[in-house]
Amino acid sequence: AQTVTQSQPEMSVQEAETVTLSCTYDTSESDYYLFWYKQPPSRQMILVIRQEAYKQQNATENRFSVNFQKAAKSFSLKISDSQLGDAAMYFCAYRSLNNDMRFGAGTRLTVKP
């Protein structure tokens, strides 16, 4: 079964600075999807960004971008110009073609004013 590892239980960043959250995964599949979800204290799960494994180009959504390294099985999230509202738990997720979805343990991001 696929596993997703987030090695940083907690991270902090100064407002307006940039922070990178790490994610690695283990799989024998060649095609799959990767996601980052955000869970603020309200406990909603909010999609931040997604990446198809067959696309080499890194996904970007406004201040959020990923560094997808397929050979290294790495999928890190970069948040630029951090804002107070970015404070949340961030989950990396792997989805196989049969819809099996696996989440990492999460990284708690604190944004300091």
Partner 1 sequence: DTAVSQTPKYLVTQMGNDKSIKCEQNLGHDTMYWYKQDSKKFLKIMFSYNNKELIINETVPNRFSPKSPDKAHLNLHINSLELGDSAVYFCASSHGRGHQPQHFGDGTRLSIL
Q: Which residues bind partner 1 (CB under 8 A)?
A: 33, 35, 37, 39, 42-45, 47, 50, 52, 89, 91, 95, 97-103, 105-106
Sequential DSSP letters for 27-94: -S-SS-EEEEEEE-TT---EEEEEEETT--SPPEETTEEEEEETTTTEEEEEE-S--GGG-EEEEEEE
CB of 105 to partner 1, least distance (A): 6
Nearer to partner 1, 17 or 31 (CB): 31
Nearer to partner 1, 13 or 91 (CB): 91
Pull the structure tokens for residue 32: 């799959």
Nearer to partner 1, 81 or 100 (CB): 100
CB of 20 to partner 1, least distance (A): 20
Nearer to partner 1, 16 or 47 (CB): 47
| CB neighbours of residue 98 within 10 Å | 6
CB of 109 to partner 1, least distance (A): 13
Residue 17 DSSP code: S
